[in-house]
Each structure stands twice: as structure tokens, then as C-alpha cells.
């Protein structure tokens, strides 16, 4: 578990902040939609008050010595670099994300990066964090995000995890996300790995610790953050096809944050 403080300056109480979680890219796989990824990166770059959070599995990281390796699933432009495929993907990732590295809240590690580190002693996640000057958020992280305008501050608590949540049905994924939310005190819960874009909203009721006795509301959202890896790719026999996985939408959801709005309107999720 990693902990992180993030502070951003706001010019006005009416400012809207956009958070785009980007993960499960699987760069290096033939099924990776790099055009969609570049479009998301360009959106972060040109949108005022836009930030992004890395959700893990940035590259496929399946090397020739791995039992999961299939040459037909490798991006053709990288087949001449099979002797050092993870580092070839790392260099591409650095080039892609460098234009928006100043808007990064941090990078989670994914199970593909972790498998490579544990089995082959290649820590490309840490190398990516260093290259982008990004916070290394490990596998699970609690982020205290403070929005500051002069002396006024508003805080959003974010729990982010690459997670192990996957499955055939979205309902099962939502149930598992909600199970995890019981373990951590946060407003926004972000989960990678499952490749879906699904959200669950709830409102927590309480009373103030002092002062007038009245009901206090707190909006909580759990969100699975999507993928850039196609489930099926023409003229390949990918592992996702062999597993019979369902096709998923490509891209990232957007979280619109209004730091000083009321409890039910403070933030919302936009899924495209």
C-alpha cells in the first residue's frame, strides 16, 4: 500500500477538474489500439485542468521465454526486438507520455509488469516512473488530493488499484469492487485489470461530530477504468480469444470533479 499527497491550484470556485485514468494499454500487443491511446493523451494535453493517473499494464511484457508468448500476437513493428521487448515498449511509452508527464498524479504497477519483475528481474515500472518523474503508487494507493484556491482547500480521497478484479459478467465485477470499497475510506475508487468501463454510485449518510445534529451526505463512486487492448484481433489467435472473453469498449472514462460543489454534485463519471 502506497500513500500520496497531491495538491493542485484552482483559479475559481467554479473550476471543473478532469481526471482521466489510463491503463491496461498492453503496448506491444498487436491488439493494442495505439490510435485511441494517442487521442486520449492529446485530450489530456489540450484540456485545461486535466490530469491523468496510470492504472498499470502499460505494456504487454510477455517475452519469448514466457509460456504465454505467441509471435502472432506481437505488434509487427516490434518483432525485430524480441531479444529486449520490454525495454523497446518502455521507450515507446516514455515517448508517448512525456508531453503530459507534468499532469500525472502517479503510476500504479500492473500484474504484467509485476510478473516480468518477479520472473525475469526487469523492473520496467520503476524505470517508467523515473523517466516520467511520476510518483510510484505501487499496486494499491490512497491518494489525498487537495484542491487549493488561496487559503481555501477542498479534499478528495481516492483509492486506486490495478486490482485482481476480472470475470465474465459486469455484475460480478461491480460486486467485487463494492467489497473492496468497504476496506478503505475514500470518495472515489478506481480499479484496473478488468478492462471494462463500469461504475457504481452510492451515498453514505452520517452526522457531524459536533454542532447541529443533521444528516450529512457523502457521494462514493467505484469505477473500473477500461482498456486499450482489443479482445479480438483479425488474423491472430490471442489468449483473450482462447478464453472466450467478451469484447470491451476501448478507451478511458472521465471523472469530472467540482471541488466546491454540493455533496451529490461534487464529481461524476462520463463513460464514452
CATH of the domain at 93: 3.60.21
- Nine cell digits for residue 236: 491472430
Listed residue (249, 270, 238) closest to 36, CA to CA: 249
Model pLDDT, residue 262: 84
What confidence score (pLDDT) does residue 63 get? 87
Per-10-residue mean pLDDT of the chain, 272 residues long, equals: 94 91 96 97 96 97 86 90 93 98 98 93 96 98 95 94 91 94 96 95 92 92 96 81 84 95 86 83
**Residue 92: its pLDDT value, please?**
97
CA gap 179, 175 in Å, rounded:
6
- 194 near 225, Cβ under 8 Å? no
List C-alpha distances in Å: 213 to 34, 206, 207, 264: 53, 10, 6, 20
Cα torsion 257, 251, 135, 111: sign: positive
**Nearest residue to 134 via CA among 94, 107, 158:** 107
pTM of the model: 0.94
Site of grid cell 516490434: 78
Q: Region of 151 please: left (phi>0), alpha (psi -120 to 50) or beta.
A: alpha
Q: What angle do CA 173, 145, 19 make, to 5 degrees?
A: 55
pLDDT at residue 179, as a whole number: 95
pLDDT at 201: 93
Q: Report the alpha-carbon distance of residue 265 to residue 243 in Å, rounded.
A: 40
Position 68 scores a pLDDT of 83
Domain containing 117: what range? 2-270
Total number of domains constituting the chain: 1
Amino acid at each position: 500500500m502506497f500513500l500520496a499527497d497531491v495538491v493542485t491550484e484552482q483559479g475559481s470556485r467554479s473550476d471543473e477538474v478532469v481526471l482521466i485514468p489510463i491503463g491496461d494499454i498492453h503496448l506491444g500487443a498487436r491488439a493494442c489500439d495505439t490510435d485511441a491511446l494517442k487521442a486520449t493523451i492529446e485530450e489530456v494535453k489540450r484540456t485545461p485542468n486535466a490530469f491523468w493517473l496510470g492504472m498499470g499494464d502499460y505494456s504487454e511484457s510477455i517475452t519469448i521465454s514466457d509460456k504465454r508468448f505467441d509471435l502472432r500476437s506481437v505488434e509487427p513493428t516490434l518483432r525485430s526486438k524480441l531479444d529486449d521487448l520490454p525495454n523497446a515498449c518502455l521507450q515507446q511509452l516514455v515517448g508517448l507520455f512525456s508531453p503530459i508527464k507534468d499532469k500525472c498524479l502517479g503510476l500504479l504497477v500492473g500484474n504484467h509488469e509485476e510478473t516480468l519483475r518477479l520472473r525475469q528481474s526487469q523492473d520496467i515500472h520503476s524505470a517508467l516512473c523515473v523517466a516520467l518523474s511520476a510518483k510510484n503508487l505501487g499496486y494499491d494507493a490512497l491518494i489525498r488530493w487537495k484542491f487549493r484556491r488561496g487559503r481555501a482547500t477542498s479534499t478528495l480521497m481516492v483509492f486506486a488499484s490495478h486490482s485482481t478484479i476480472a470475470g465474465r459478467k459486469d455484475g460480478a465485477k461491480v460486486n467485487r469492487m463494492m467489497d473492496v470499497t468497504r476496506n478503505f475510506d475514500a470518495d472515489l475508487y478506481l480499479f484496473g485489470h478488468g478492462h471494462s468501463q463500469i461504475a457504481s454510485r452510492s451515498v453514505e449518510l452520517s452526522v457531524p461530530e459536533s454542532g447541529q445534529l443533521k444528516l450529512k451526505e457523502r457521494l462514493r463512486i467505484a469505477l473500473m477504468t477500461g482498456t486499450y487492448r482489443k479482445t479480438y484481433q483479425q488474423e491472430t489467435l490471442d489468449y483473450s480469444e482462447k478464453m472466450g472473453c467478451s469484447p470491451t469498449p476501448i478507451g478511458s472514462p472521465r471523472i469530472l470533479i467540482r471541488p466546491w460543489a454540493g455533496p451529490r454534485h461534487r464529481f461524476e463519471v462520463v463513460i464514452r
